[in-house]
Structure 1
Amino acid sequence: MPQLSRRVFVSALPLALSGGSLLGGGLIGGASAPALAATQDTAKTPVNVTPLAQIRIGRFTVTALTDGYADMPYDYFPGRAAAEVEQAAIAQFTARPSGVRFLFNQYLVEDGERRILIDAGPAGSIGQTGALPQALGALGLQRDQIDAVIVTHMHQDHMGGLIVGGKNNYPKAELYIDRRDVTYWTDPAKRSGAPDYLQTSFHMAGEVVRLYPKLQAIDGEREIVRGVSIVDLTGHTPGHIGVRVEDSGQSLIMVSDMIFPVVHPGATDVFFLFEQDPAAAKAMRDRFFPRAASEGALIAATHMPFPGLGRVVADRGQMRWQMADWALQN
């Protein structure tokens, strides 16, 4: 069993205490599509904390970081009425006046030779974000000391930190993104037909390609370095991927946006507004969640309460999220 340890808490985010669960009720139509600006009312004030948590996976040290948080409106979850989502969020202490509290977790993977960052956060483009450089600084690191960045998909909250300020912020890093996402998010025809709330992601994708000559558009599942490999989790976006860290019989799977707070893993027929292919996303979750539960897989998820570590558990015929008891381990 991987050993989890408390690292440092300079302060503490007002985070939720529990993760996703099953929502009651059936399909009640789709959610409206309000502009992303609804989540940006506090974007000018970056979060002022540096929570860190570390876990050992064999020879790897994996550090959970966060760029901050945003509150996602209750009607951003097609498949359930906004009132149902709000009631479920209240029951799980994740409710805020403007929506469900979402974290933006990133993960730094180190083996003594290379530093690999998984995702770069929204960097102030959504909510109370922009804290990732501060979190890296608490580890004594600058962004030019990162050897590689794996972007799980090209939504703004996963790549904004790469290009904030209009520059290459990880100048020495090789950049890995699934080719299907690169193709999709740089396609002018796809952009012209996309809703307003996705336009920022299309713009950022073009900037990432322009500013990162070391970008490697990768195809399918592959190993980045020994023990760090790509897992295909397509559905949320065409090239949505996860990252498996594995060594000495221990493993951790970073599943990115496979799991959202409040609604998952209990209800795979509930989606998130930004998903490009809800049917494919549901099919992937229907396959992945039971397998993860049967294997007891340790999972890291971008938007779950910090540090985003937990397991999918089968409980009396229902799937639920069980947070990992990382804080009390040595």
Structure 2
Amino acid sequence: MPQLSRRAFASALPLGLIGGSLLGVLGESAARAATQEAAKAPVAVTPFAQIRIGRFTVTALTDGYADMPYDYFPGRSAPEVEGAASAQFTARPSGVRFLFNQYLVEDGERRILIDAGAAGSIGQTGRLPQALAELGLQPDKIDAVIVTHMHQDHMGGLVLGGKNNYPGAELYIDRRDIAHWTDPVKRNGAPDYLQTSFRMAEEVVRLYPRLQAIDGEREIMRGVSIVDLTGHTPGHIGVRVEDGGKSMIMVSDMIFPVVHPAATDVFFLFEQDRAAAKAMRDRFFPRAASEGALIAATHMPFPGLGRVVADHGEMRWQVADWALQD
């Protein structure tokens, strides 16, 4: 797999994905091949974890992983990032280990999937359908998909193979992201490593007639609402699940391993507006710490659940004691 250049939640199961870990950008046929190969790789378990938020069952699933090169974090040198990753046991020879966590929200009536994974377009991904199958679900049983933003690792599973893979689902995406990722002028001026996201965005719009372009914060259904987290992309959103006096916020790419939440001045190569991303993190992290909010984060170690806490004036990530929550 070619290296990406700057140009161009009651059951706790261990992560058992085995395989290579170089980050790559793939064409459609290569993405299919990568997904097929990933499915053949030996797997100890298909990891999932569940928590209850009032009437909701939230299940954490994973599409796989990729290792992000140490120089993909503007604001710190590669050796600094590697040192921090080593101290946190997320360092790999080719970079920082990123998970691709997705979250299934169910209330007995509707099933809502938050993001659809990279589907083989990055690293060792493409396991979300298998994870759903372990729950006895096929993609056509999903009622809605909320796409937190239109980067390839959050929507690739929607359009793998050039088809609508969630035919029974309504799709919710922020209007600002749709406008950005389907703008030919922006695509023409974008670096090579973003071209797959632009292509997938066009496919999503073409293949999903039930796509709803949403504006800002709104309720999708009782207890499931959109949180505006713009910055990482123009229409980057989170999802709050709330019922019975409990809540969880899925914050997508607000938090990256190693660098966040301690440092808001460290970015990720794919972020379009670093000033806006920093400003949002500067606002969100102290608020989350003050509220003690339970957070789900796409790229943190599985199942991606934790809290932002203030420790002697510094923000840090505290893994949630999720398995003992009641």
Fold similarity call, TM over 0.5: yes
Any conservation in 1 of the 2:102–2:115 contact (CA below 8 Å)?
Answer: yes
Task: Provide the rounded CA distance (Å) in 1 between the counterparts of 2:177 and 2:217.
Answer: 14
Cα gap change, 1:79 to 1:36, in 2 (>3 Å): farther
Shift in Å, 1:46: 1.6
Q: Secondary structure of the equivalent of 1:46?
A: helix
Counterpart amino acid of 1:76? Y
Task: Provide the rounded CA distance (Å) in 2 between the counterparts of 1:136 and 1:206.
Answer: 26
Counterpart amino acid of 1:88? A
Any conservation in 2 of the 1:149–1:174 contact (CA below 8 Å)?
Answer: yes
Task: Provide the rounded CA distance (Å) in 2 between the counterparts of 1:126 and 1:328.
Answer: 33
Cα gap change, 1:43 to 1:315, in 2 (>3 Å): farther
Say if 2:164 is the partner of 1:164: no
1:154-189 alpha-carbon deviations (Å, 9 max, x no partner): 000000000001110000000000000000000000
Task: Provide the rounded CA distance (Å) in 2 between the counterparts of 1:283 and 1:224.
Answer: 26
Higher relative contact order (CA 8 A, sep 6+): 1
Structure 1 counterpart of 2:38:
46
Identify which of 112, 132, 135 aligns with 1:136: 132
Shift in Å, 1:5: 2.2
Task: Provide the rounded CA distance (Å) in 1 between the counterparts of 2:73 and 2:92.
Answer: 15
Counterpart amino acid of 2:205? V
Task: Provide the rounded CA distance (Å) in 2 between the counterparts of 1:224 and 1:78.
Answer: 35
Task: Provide the rounded CA distance (Å) in 1 between the counterparts of 2:225 and 2:51.
Answer: 18
Q: Secondary structure of the equivalent of 2:38?
A: coil
* CA RMSD across the alignment: 1.9
Paired-residue identity, %: 83
Structure 2 counterpart of 1:6:
11
Identify which of 272, 279, 282 aligns with 1:283: 279
Counterpart amino acid of 1:70? A
Task: Provide the rounded CA distance (Å) in 2 between the counterparts of 1:10 and 1:115.
Answer: 25
Identify which of 202, 206, 213 aligns with 2:209: 213
Structure 2 counterpart of 1:65:
61
Counterpart amino acid of 1:211? L
Task: Provide the rounded CA distance (Å) in 1 between the counterparts of 2:244 and 2:323.
Answer: 22
Identify which of 191, 194, 200 aligns with 1:195: 191
Structure 2 counterpart of 1:326:
322
Cα gap change, 1:201 to 1:185, in 2 (>3 Å): same
Any conservation in 1 of the 2:289–2:308 contact (CA below 8 Å)?
Answer: yes
Cα gap change, 1:176 to 1:285, in 2 (>3 Å): same
Structure 1 counterpart of 2:150:
154
Task: Provide the rounded CA distance (Å) in 1 between the counterparts of 2:180 and 2:25.
Answer: 23
Structure 2 counterpart of 1:249:
245
Say if 2:247 is the partner of 1:222: no
Any conservation in 2 of the 1:6–1:326 contact (CA below 8 Å)?
Answer: no
Q: What is the count of residue pairs matched by the alignment? A: 305
Say if 2:291 is the partner of 1:295: yes
Structure 1 counterpart of 2:5:
none
Shift in Å, 1:36: 4.7
Task: Provide the rounded CA distance (Å) in 1 between the counterparts of 2:34 and 2:166.
Answer: 22
Counterpart amino acid of 2:320? A
TM-score between the two structures when normalised by the length of structure 2: 0.90
TM-score between the two structures when normalised by the length of structure 1: 0.89
Shift in Å, 1:13: 4.2
Counterpart amino acid of 1:65? L
Identify unmatched segments of 5+ residues in structure 2: 1-8
Q: Which runs of 4+ in 1 moved over 4 A?
A: 35-38, 40-44
Any conservation in 2 of the 1:123–1:130 contact (CA below 8 Å)?
Answer: yes
Shift in Å, 1:89: 0.2
Any conservation in 2 of the 1:43–1:126 contact (CA below 8 Å)?
Answer: no
Any conservation in 1 of the 2:25–2:196 contact (CA below 8 Å)?
Answer: no
Task: Provide the rounded CA distance (Å) in 2 between the counterparts of 1:10 and 1:154.
Answer: 29
Q: Secondary structure of the equivalent of 1:126?
A: coil
Cα gap change, 1:43 to 1:75, in 2 (>3 Å): farther
Structure 2 counterpart of 1:240:
236
- Per mean C-alpha deviation after superposition, the further-off stretch among 40-49 and 186-195 is 40-49
Say if 2:121 is the partner of 1:117: no
Q: Secondary structure of the equivalent of 1:56?
A: strand
Identify which of 67, 91, 96 aligns with 1:95: 91
